[in-house]
Structure 1
């Protein structure tokens, strides 16, 4: 009995102990579940994550920074100001995602930023702040890259700067040639423009394109020419011209840079032996002059003296003005001088033209003064003179002036002052000419007495004056009626627009975009312009699109603009249209239309540089 009682007591105590252990286990289980819930809650808390696609890159390579957020209130997006000290931000794209799971939702936002390091070394990308949260810092190592050369040892891009002469005279024409050699098409190319504070520079002609082999490598050569005029003597240095562009290599997209050598000019002053105040440096000056009529000319008739001057390598504004004076044998009435500058492949040609009305006053042989221009030949570096002799004319009739006049001449055109002040290539604004009344237009007592003596000539003169007044009045009335009718026509007629000439053939932007992509994929250069304008008119509106230049401006995409420009060059050149490959333009259009950057394909990379 004692043993049984002891066993029963042990069994009861064991049951109590097991019950206590079971309670502790349940409590531990509850605590574990609570901890897991806390960890899950912390894991789903708002956060900003920043990652790089590569931790180690070479200089001039691109690196992509991806920023991810999992909360909806992102404000203005990531603050990238801290990156601008060590990186160039080349592009940025954004997309968003929404997740739904068992009644819960999650908002995800992604930003992809293309960065270009400004130098080599170890960099720390600081925390990027988005809204009220920030990412963790990231490290990046940038190594020095080897020079990019092909199998012939040639770089992919060469830029060269040349001038027509390194020792020009003051205000002499210079032709500055900028040549860009490229082994393949460049993306996002940025080319500098020659400039200097003591040079007046302007484009001479459109770009010229040809192909040239250099040390075994085939290059496309784009030549861009400028006109330059030195405004100060002494040494002038045209700084090196630079280019930066993106290329595709086997290692991905890479930025390449190149620059030319600087050009030193030794600008010579005006030679001390130059005799005139009108400094005119030119390669050639020619003169033409005509006089009409040359037969059956009577005293009092009006003759037209036409003088045309041409200066190769100089502006019309640099040429001296013609200055002649009336004499007792004739009176001169000059018209305003016409100036024009004509650009050619070899430079500028200044043109000056003037008409002078000549009225003979004495019968006999009419001889006008010789026309002469003094200039400095910049090729021979010598003083030269160009002159032209007007034709002589026999004049009949009675004298209109008193021969006792000592031949005092009244100058009708003031001589031009020295043209050594800075010149401008801009066309001058048209101004109404304000001429001072010449003393030749005033009544002369001698002429009045002559007209009184010759009564027959006076009656004829009065009849001519009356007929002239009637003709002028009739002409002015006709001009007034014509202008009035033209204004009424302009008010009633609408100006034809692109919508009238080329109505839209597609329903919306999406269908027009699909037609454009199809034309690019089929390399159909003939329909590219029409398809592009069709899509652009849907996207930006009828009133903003008149040509491909409007698409380049409104898209604000350098890649799209570059590819459209290349297509235009092939379109209007002698190259066959079948040589155009529209795949790159199709990719650029898809990136612009969708806002997402397409991944590069190794099959599309140029094999000219297999080691990079």
Structure 2
């Protein structure tokens, strides 16, 4: 049977073909669906991982609290917080597992609480964080200058940096005072050591006091640093960061929710360092606030006698200079006087006014013939930093008279003479000469012993003489000079030479073996710092200030024995 197609049948057929999508349309729909599935995880934030902050606007010296909550069923591990460290410092991190029932509905989640401090000003972002395939939303954070926010007018804690000068000369002392002001209770204050590239830095004072600002009492914690620039140009004092905890500790709270961690940051400071003036004519550049020379004697100089030693002590003292910056004093060169100089002693005294360095030179003098003598004057040229001009300090010439008889020259009797009286008369002056020489040697020896006992009161007298000859000689000075220059290779070589001179039984051994045998903490720490600076990959910069402190402690250490004698009973429990 043939069914004819009327107009109505043709219309339905046309409508059917009109509604059926083409193959091209289906392909486009499938590609769009695949594109949605292939979107990156950062574009598909999940409700199972959420991030919140306590505020979105902070100052550079403030912190924010980030809460990251995961409500998924998978357990173990933690999110990767490395992306946060691009713009923020993570000051603390806490994790807690929570389980609760609300209106008969139970829920559990893991929560991380992080205290973040911004690294720079401007518009920052807490990035999207990932955990078990879930992604949190990114959060914008606006960071402003310290104290510029409207709610930061009455800041509870802040830092202040003060320089005592606006311009200095190279190697001149600059005092930097860092003050922490607070109106609230702060504890667990952590400070970073001040390090200034191209300068020697030393902390000289620490004080706590109160100060009223706009009628409000503030507790002040003040640190004073002495800085000595090593070259001219612009010197930058970097920003300092203090981290402290505000609020009361709750011994019954696991996370101390009543406390807040603060991070305070100071503003960097710059100062211009001028070179040594061209008009300066001194042989040594000595920029100081004051400089003086003091002379003293071991006994009354009016009692000078031929053959008897007397000790002259010269003290060069400068305010605003380290002892390492002071020059050596001229040696005595006078006909008829024999001199026996000792190794110079250096000492630094610190106060709120900075560093006062002293150089002490001791010389034993023995006259070989009577007469009138004169020690020449000593003149030190220096730069007065208070008045800004060159000055000279002079120790006047010293005159004295030596009494006694000179030791006569020994003469032999004529040949063929049989008279014994001339021989007896000649032997008397000869015996007097040797007796005087022996007295001089004994007196000189006793004088050395008394001097060393005064310098090293905590040491045994016998070991003291041996140690002084070994440990405070040329090797110790070379080690101190190498430490002040900060070259790791030079310090290692000087340290090795000093150890071998101090303990000859370790001659031929490496520095590592000597350090292990001597069991000295300072020597081990020095070896560790030098090893990190020389052999670590990448090498770590050498902390010159710490090296100088360790070298000074090592040289001044009272115990010099390889293995100190054991006192008392040995420990019974380990």
Q: Could you tell me the TM-score, scaled by structure 2's length?
A: 0.56
**Displacement of 1:183:** 2.3
Higher relative contact order (CA 8 A, sep 6+): 1
2:433 alignment partner in structure 1: 461
- 2:230 is aligned to 231
CA contact (8 A) 1:328 1:362 kept: no
Q: In structure 2, what is the equivalent of residue 333 of structure 1?
A: 340
The answer for the alignment partner of 2:131 in structure 1 is 128
Contact preservation (8 Å) 1:94, 1:109: no
Counterpart-to-counterpart distance in 1, 2:464 and 2:315: 35
Structure 1, unpaired ranges of 5+? 1-46, 100-105, 402-446, 500-541, 544-612
Q: CA deviation at 1:256?
A: 6.0
Alignment-derived partner of residue 371 in structure 1: 378
Q: 1:495 to 1:139 in 2, by over 3 A?
A: same
Using the TM superposition, name which of 262-271 and 165-174 deviates more.
262-271
Paired with 2:260 and 2:150, the residues of 1 have a C-alpha distance of 13
Rounded Cα–Cα distance in structure 2 between residues aligned with 1:481 and 1:286 = 31
Structure 1 position 215 matched with structure 2 position 290:
no
Q: Secondary structure at the match of 2:169?
A: coil
1:372-413 C-alpha deviation (Å, 9 max, x unpaired): 322111111222222223653322233459xxxxxxxxxxxx
In structure 1, C-alpha distance between the alignment counterparts of 2:259 and 2:164, rounded to whole Å: 37
Deviations 1:488-521 (A, max 9, x none): 993241489xx9xxxxxxxxxxxxxxxxxxxxxx
User: Considering only CA atoms, is the larger Rg found in Structure 1 or Structure 2?
Assistant: 1
C-alpha distance after superposition, 1:83-115 (max 9, x if no partner): 55576544444456899xxxxxx9977342326
Distance 1:380 1:457, change over 3 A: farther
Aligned to 1:490: 565
For the 8 Å contact 1:278–1:320, the answer to whether it is kept is yes
Partner of 2:19 in structure 1? none
Q: 1:54 to 1:350 in 2, by over 3 A?
A: closer
Match of 1:303 among 302, 310, 315: 310
Per-residue CA deviations over 1:174-223 (Å, capped at 9, x if unaligned) read 11111122222346766555443222111112x31122221233322221
3-state DSSP of counterpart to 2:294: strand
Pairing 1:497-508 to 2, within 5 Å after superposition: none
Quote the residue 2:356 is aligned against.
349
The corresponding residue for 1:44 is none
> What residue number does 2:515 align with?
none
Aligned residues: 389
Q: Secondary structure of the residue that 2:433 maps to in structure 1? A: helix
The DSSP-based 3-state class of the residue aligned with 1:461 is: helix
C-alpha separation in 2, matches of 1:115 and 1:283? 46
Q: CA deviation at 1:64?
A: 1.2
2 CA distance for matches of 1:86 and 1:388? Answer: 61
Which of 247, 263, 274 is residue 280 of structure 2 equivalent to? 274
Partners of 1:121 and 1:295 lie apart in 2 by 79
* TM-aligned CA distance change 1:188 to 1:50, over 3 Å: farther
Q: Structure 2 unaligned runs (5+)?
A: 1-45, 101-105, 249-256, 413-422, 450-459, 467-560
RMSD between aligned residues: 4.7
Residues 80 and 128 of structure 1 are in contact (CA less than 8 Å); yes or no, is this contact kept in structure 2? no
Residue 316 (structure 1) aligned to one of 313, 319, 323: 323
Return the TM-score normalized by structure 1. 0.53
1:162 and 1:290 map into 2 onto residues whose CA distance is: 40
Q: 2:391 maps to what in 1?
A: 384
